[in-house]
């Protein structure tokens, strides 16, 4: 810790001596790179202050915030799956804050805020699913999958990508969804069968769908809104809401406990929950459902009311014990045999 503190002091002195101003806010961003960049531009234009925004996968952000607990370098964690934010909250790594727009939030976002003890606010929601490359499927003369169970068919051996749930919030949502759909032991039997078809577990959750879009793999497991974005970019994806039902995420924003730029962090959170801030999603090609009732819905956003959805238990799957236990079991029984 002394090392980090000494380094921060030296860095500040160096910046002062070069005349380069330190950013007024440091944000780690859990959504798509395009949205991270659009949000940085929009917030800087609004505030007149330069900020630093770095994209990371959700589990990696949690690990960074844990590691820096004694001397945080991050002020705001914006985006990424909410159960991981809840876990950080229950480890006392987040600063409670009542955002200006909280009363305009849709009921699922208000419930999420209450569940977090006022430490994390919901910024968007989106359903999990998978998508396949229609051109490649036709070329390979393979059947079209429509259910989770179809993905274990030997026809898809080595032709599916999914994220690694240790680093990817998308992939942890997949793991937790399967446990809620099938029960834990059955879910692990399913994952073992699926594992035989998994070409690789990617560190980031959106990599599988980008690979399927480009025909580098046949099927990618991902959030459906990520697949819509790729499809809108012209890639031949067919998006599937699995027949058994599926889970969903609430993406969140939180202020890190001990944030150095706390007032700017609060202004950023207010912006992230405003219709203007949420509009940066659709403007950068994203298709999540925004949490502010006054925000406009991206035109191509999947209609989550039409999808068979599990009653996702954020409290259980956002608890440190449950998340760590499931990840240990995944590593021991599934990843170790891939």
CB nearer to ligand PLP: pick between 137 and 277: 277
CB nearer to ligand PLP: pick between 24 and 57: 57
| Under 8 Å between Cβ of 54 and 27 | yes
CB nearer to ligand PLP: pick between 156 and 201: 201
Minimal distance, residue 26 CB to ligand PLP, in Å: 19
In angstroms, the CA 227 to CA 25 distance is: 31
Closest C-alpha among 213, 208, 215 to residue 194: 208
**Which residues does 4 contact at the CB level (< 8 Å), separation at least 6?**
68, 70, 71
CB nearer to ligand PLP: pick between 77 and 132: 77
CB nearer to ligand PLP: pick between 137 and 273: 273
Cβ atoms within 10 Å of 316's Cβ, excluding its own: 15
Minimal distance, residue 277 CB to ligand PLP, in Å: 16
Query: Three-state DSSP class for 255?
Result: strand
In angstroms, the CA 15 to CA 319 distance is: 40
CB nearer to ligand PLP: pick between 24 and 170: 170
Distance, C-alpha 243 to centroid of its chain = 23
State the residue number with the nearest CB to ligand PLP.
205
Minimal distance, residue 235 CB to ligand PLP, in Å: 15
In angstroms, what CA-CA distances link 254 with 73, 99, 100, 143, 209?
Answer: 14, 10, 14, 43, 27
C-alpha dihedral sign at 52, 55, 60, 62: positive
Question: Which residues contribute to the site for ligand PLP (CB under 6 A)?
Answer: 30-32, 57-58, 79-81, 126, 163, 168-170, 204-206, 223, 226, 249, 251, 288
In angstroms, the CA 252 to CA 42 distance is: 18
The tokens describing 234, both together, are: 């012209």
CB nearer to ligand PLP: pick between 72 and 281: 281
Closest C-alpha among 216, 221, 215, 214 to residue 191: 221
Minimal distance, residue 296 CB to ligand PLP, in Å: 18
Minimal distance, residue 201 CB to ligand PLP, in Å: 11
**Token pair 């879009």: residue:** 213
CB nearer to ligand PLP: pick between 24 and 204: 204
Minimal distance, residue 85 CB to ligand PLP, in Å: 10
In angstroms, the CA 157 to CA 115 distance is: 40
CB nearer to ligand PLP: pick between 30 and 298: 30
Minimal distance, residue 112 CB to ligand PLP, in Å: 13
Minimal distance, residue 210 CB to ligand PLP, in Å: 10
**Token pair 């998308």: residue:** 170
208-230 CB burial, b ≥16 within 10 A, e <16: bbbbbbeeebbbbbbbbbbbbbb
Minimal distance, residue 137 CB to ligand PLP, in Å: 24
């Amino acid at each position: 810790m002394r090392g980090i503190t000494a380094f921060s002091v030296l860095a500040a002195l160096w910046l002062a001596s070069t005349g380069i101003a330190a950013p007024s806010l440091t944000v780690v961003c859990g959504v798509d790179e395009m949205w991270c960049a659009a949000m940085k531009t929009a917030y800087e234009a609004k505030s007149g202050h330069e900020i630093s925004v770095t994209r990371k996968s959700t589990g990696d952000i949690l690990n960074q915030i844990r590691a820096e607990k004694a001397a945080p370098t991050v002020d705001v964690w914006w985006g990424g799956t909410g159960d991981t934010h809840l876990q950080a909250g229950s480890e006392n790594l987040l600063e409670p804050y009542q955002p200006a727009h909280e009363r305009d939030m849709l009921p699922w976002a208000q419930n999420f805020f209450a569940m977090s003890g006022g430490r994390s606010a919901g910024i968007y929601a989106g359903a999990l699913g998978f998508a396949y490359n229609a051109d490649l499927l036709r070329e390979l003369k393979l059947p079209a999958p429509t259910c989770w169970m179809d993905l274990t068919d030997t026809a898809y051996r080595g032709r599916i990508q999914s994220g690694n749930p240790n680093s990817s919030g998308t992939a942890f949502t997949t793991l937790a969804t399967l446990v809620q759909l099938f029960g834990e032991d059955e879910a692990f039997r399913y994952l073992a069968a699926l594992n035989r078809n998994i070409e690789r577990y990617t560190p980031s959750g959106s990599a599988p769908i980008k690979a399927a879009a480009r025909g580098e793999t046949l099927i990618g497991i991902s959030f459906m809104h990520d697949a819509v974005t790729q499809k809108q970019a012209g890639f031949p994806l067919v998006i599937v809401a699995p027949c058994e039902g599926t889970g969903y995420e609430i993406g969140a924003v939180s202020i890190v406990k001990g944030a150095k730029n706390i007032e700017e962090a609060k202004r950023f959170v207010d912006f992230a929950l405003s219709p203007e801030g949420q509009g940066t999603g659709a403007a950068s090609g994203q298709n999540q459902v925004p949490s502010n009732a006054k925000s406009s819905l991206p035109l191509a956003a999947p209609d989550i009311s039409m999808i068979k959805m599990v009653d996702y238990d954020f409290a259980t799957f956002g608890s440190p014990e449950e998340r760590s236990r499931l990840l240990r079991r995944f590593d021991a029984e599934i990843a170790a045999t891939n």
